[in-house]
Amino acid sequence: MATDFAVSLRRFLTGHLAGLRGYSPNTIASYRDAFKLLICYFRDQRSIPPEKLTLDLLDAAAITGFLTWLRTSRGNSASTCNQRLAAIDSFFGWMQTQDPARMACYQDILAIPASRHDQPAVAHLSVERTRRLLAAPDRSTRTGRRDATLLATLYDTAARVQELADLTVRDIRLDNPAMVALTGKGRKTRHVPLDANTTALLAAYLAEQHLGGPGTEDHPVFFNQHRAKLSRGGIAWILRKYRARAADPALTNAHLSPHTLRHSRAMHLYDAGVPLPYIRDILGHVDLSTTEIYARASTEAKRKALEAVYDDVVTADLAEWNQNSELLDWLADL
């Protein structure tokens, strides 16, 4: 017979997250992995097998012990521990509405603080290095034209790699105003405008692949030799291939992923003066505070802000120090 924890967890993952909230399979898999680790912790560290794990055993002390185990025994980073805690918090936040009798216990769990860690720098490329990377594919070949179009679309739309992999022909509008419909987290769709050059690449690519006619609306835009959509790993492999060909040591030595191009696009937009709410909508962030990392990370924006503040204060015609004889005399006598 299934325990109350097993029943509740199944309802949470399938009925609540997948059904009511419409979370993506990747998000649900991340939540699932957090609870798999929690179950392993009880089995291996506390000698409680999965079939005997009940809600009564899940309290703040147990969850704190689990997080400590992740850090010390598994060597997980603070960021990873916080991701696991976020999944657990989501479950017990939902359980408050399902099991009010244990609400005080659940609130103790929700009060567990996240691990403190240094805010990582936003990994991004300069405009020039991005231009060099996007120009790396050989556009005289069919594969090169596909890859050039893929990289341009990935950068121009600031898409998550799964959003690009899921892109179908019906999601692309080439007529003015050209745009792409991206379906992201929570199955929410946003429309991102396309640059004229990216639009031209997509138009030529779709025509070459005989896509865009009747019956091709649901065909993946980017696909492999078996005409199946490219996987996330396949897109990352294409990016790494051209990183090696870009003839730029900074690119070759850098950790480059599809998400780096997403960060790069956001940083370039911010440095160009695009307001944060617009960037938030392009990226598909729910909260503006998530987008603010680009404002904190932009050294170019900080430089411009400082120049604007001090433009009328510091001038180039200040007196030389040697013109101040009193100061020099004082220093000489000191």
Catalytic positions, please?
160, 185, 259, 262, 285, 294
| Count, residues in the chain | 334
CA distance 318 to 321: 9
Torsion of CA 47, 52, 54, 56, to 10 degrees: -60
**How much helix, strand and coil, in percent to the nearest 5, is found in the chain?**
65, 5, 30
Please give the full DSSP string across 206-245, using - where no structure is assigned: HHHTT-SSTT-TTSBSSB-TTSPBPPHHHHHHHHHHHHHH
CA distance 261 to 132: 13
CA distance 26 to 21: 14
Angle ∠(88,93,99) on CA atoms, nearest 5: 110
E-assigned strand segments in the chain:
172-173, 179-183, 189-193
Q: How many CA atoms lie within 13 A of 128 on its CB side?
A: 3
- Label residue 292 exposed, middle or buried (CB < 10 Å: 0-12, 13-18, 19+): middle
- Residue carrying structure tokens 């179950």: 39
- Label residue 224 exposed, middle or buried (CB < 10 Å: 0-12, 13-18, 19+): exposed
Beta-strand relationship, 172-173 and 189-193:
unpaired
